Amino acid sequence: MSHDDLPLAEQIKRESRYLRGTLRDSLADHATGALHDEDTHLSKFHGLYQQDDRELREERRQQKLEPHFQFMLRLRLPGGVLTPDQWLGLDEVADRFADGSLRLTTRQTFQFHRVFKENLQPLIQHLDSLGLDSRGACGDVNRNVVANVNPHLSANHARVYDHAVQISERLMWRSRAYEETWLNEAPKTREGEEEEPFYTYRYLPRKFKVAIALPPHNDCDVLANDIGLIAIEEDGDIVGYNIAVGGGMGMTYGETGTYPRLASPVGFVPADQVVDACEAIAAIQRDHGCRTDRAHARFKYTLDDYGLDWFKERFAEVHGTPLEPLRDYTLKDSGDQFGWTEDDRGRHHLTLFIPSGRIRDFEQLKLRTALRSIAKIHSGEFRITCNQNLIIAGVSEQEKSAIQKLVDHYGLDDGGKSSPLARNAISCVAFPTCGLAMAESERYLPELSQKIHQLMSEAGIGGEVIQLRVSGCPNGCARPYLGEIALTGKAPGKYNLYLGADTGGNRLNRLYRENIDEAQILADLKPLFERFARERDADEGFGDFLYRSGVIRPYSGPEDFHQPLIARG
């Protein structure tokens, strides 16, 4: 296929001069709040998405003004760990360059919203002064590497975190485009040195994600990733990792060739080979992934096209050593443990519930002020969870009482006021800034979770932990296809309802009913809650009950993903 026959995004990457494009010219163009069209593709590799306020579109159109262009900026923060000084620096960014809020994402990092073009360079320069960057947080490269563990809990937790950092560094894009564009550094070239020794000028066909879990906990939903690494402990040490490949959440309505997929466990590698193994797997996708159809370009489709036996053969060739047989493991839960915990060295860790990961000063909860106050006296670290919550980690005995006083003063521990359903719910941003959103998500979640919890309470199961996920579109940023109850936006006020995942992240849910409003969603859930209350087994989760009782039937193949179990009536 000729270069001109490739999709536009593929052409732009190849012609971009290793992601430089005309980004500097775009930033200097004060006649518009937008980047040049082709630069909007390249900016993603630098951690930026160009957006506009969708609620102002019509008003601005009538005023003959361009859309209210702005940007979302995402950080590269492997394992989700940062220092108190970095927290305070990001808190400053929120006011100086963004909308006054920080948002914790489902991939253990921060997003800043409503960043205007003139603030992009100073924001990224401020990040650089903090030792942080946004390189590769978006784009057709490896994204933020996530791990579901508090690195302070044990030596093995620390090893898992170290591997997350090492994998992120190994698979980070290398071009000097980032420094030249945002930090005003001069070009530096060395004779004979490749600008992108791994990615080359083509980069990857689509985004690529890596996650690490330490069983039995799985709050990173490890099987939702292109590479899922499952740590194996023997005699108190991590001896290696089971590798699962080909996970991914995104799909497109009506396109049966697209579907969510759980990663397939394929084999084991010793711990000292795990970084090299991840590079080998990414290289297989780089060389064999589809580049002619972006809807078919994720690693999951490469594996379904060629098969797992083919993958194992390619892995042995590229890595130089074949995969070893899988080791036994169990993934039991994917939620966070709220409140104080203590590790074996006497340090304390406090996990706080952050609704939808949004940190700002609300009318009834001065959340940003509270966390700023904690950061000023905390000597440990902050850690973001993949469920959009926050761990105040590594707290000494001397600090604990002072931090608890701030928690009490600002009401950060709601004392059980939030339902278990709400505390374990996840949502994406959606309206008004995400250009892909079809329905509300973050702004709708509090109201929705309250109404669902009311139904649960009426059925006598109000204290149950049920995973609720809400996404404004089918792309799956809130990992909806792994929720016991999940909604994906179809149109304003209309959603597809999915049911039946398990609590350990081992099973996808199924489309139960499509394109329904809130009244129908609640009407469908009410009898299922009542039946669950009557017929469940001891310690059985809601999703497992639906699956066991036949309400949710197993998938027979990818074609099932688009077929509702209950047709529209």
Active site members: 74, 143, 207, 209, 428, 434, 473, 477
List of residues 6+ apart from 550 with CB closer than 8 A? none
What is the rounded distance in angstroms from the CA atom of residue 485 to the CA atom of residue 464? 13
Residue 297 corresponds to which tokens in the numbers above? Answer: 């370009």
Residue 393 burial (C-beta neighbours within 10 Å; 0-12, 13-18, 19+): buried
Q: What strand order describes the sheet that includes 146-147?
A: 146-147, 210-213, 227-234, 237-245, 264-270
Query: What is residue 322's DSSP assignment?
Result: P
Residue 500 corresponds to which tokens in the numbers above? Answer: 């039946």
Question: ∠ at Cα 234 (229, 239), nearest 5°?
Answer: 45
Of the candidates 271, 202, 197, the residue with the CA atom closest to the CA atom of residue 233 = 271
Of the candidates 413, 361, 359, 353, the residue with the CA atom closest to the CA atom of residue 387 = 353
One-letter-per-residue 3-state SS of 106-173? CCCCEEEEEECHHHHHHHHHHHHHCCCECCCCCCCCECCCEECCCCCCCHHHHHHHHHHHHHHHHCCC
Of the candidates 255, 252, 261, 299, the residue with the CA atom closest to the CA atom of residue 280 = 299
104: enclosing H helix or E strand: strand 102-104
Residue 66 corresponds to which tokens in the numbers above? Answer: 């361009």
What's the full length of the chain, in residues? 569
At residue 397, φ and ψ (nearest 5 deg) are -60, -35
List of residues 6+ apart from 240 with CB closer than 8 A? 232, 268, 269, 270, 271, 273, 274, 324, 327
**SS3 assignment, position 311:** helix
What is the rounded distance in angstroms from the CA atom of residue 267 to the CA atom of residue 275? 15
List of residues 6+ apart from 367 with CB closer than 8 A? 354, 359, 360, 361, 410, 412
List of residues 6+ apart from 153 with CB closer than 8 A? 341, 343, 344, 349
Count of helices and strands (H, E) across the chain: 17, 20
Query: What is residue 472's DSSP assignment?
Result: S
